[in-house]
Structure 1
Amino acid sequence: MNHQHPTVEAAKLARDRDGLVSFVAVMEEVKALVNKGYPLVRIYKTFEDHLDIGYTQFTKYVARHIKQGKPIF
């Protein structure tokens, strides 16, 4: 059972969605660099100022949506 206040939960969902949206905005460029064999840490540092996520979440999104090809939404 979730005991968080509804506004706290809504704020967390909004932050999570902002992170995914920021990833989607650069995903094609990230995909091209991944396919060229660049290290993920280097790719992340290239786009870090445009992303609303940390490196760990970035690697999860790359694995899920680029390497595994799972749909975004």
Structure 2
Amino acid sequence: MFCSIAPAASPSALKSVRAMIRDLNIVQWTHLSLADIAKKLNPLLRGWIGYYGRYARSQLEPMLRHVNLTLKR
């Protein structure tokens, strides 16, 4: 019998990342330019992608889609 572990972001970790994005209130940042928003979000996104996306980047697509939809709103 062989047991294996798929090193990827757990659903609870992705849920906490989405909650953190929600807590940032990006929708309220209408007074900032897109460049200023990018300066604030890029370190967070790069960190999450580097940490959670090291082995299975495809699992981060829903989280990144959530960020894009939030920015679009």
- Taking structure 1 as the reference length, the TM-score comes to 0.34
Between structures 1 and 2, the one with greater helix share: 1
Which has the higher relative contact order, 1 or 2, with Cα contacts under 8 A spaced 6 or more apart?
A: 2
- Taking structure 2 as the reference length, the TM-score comes to 0.34
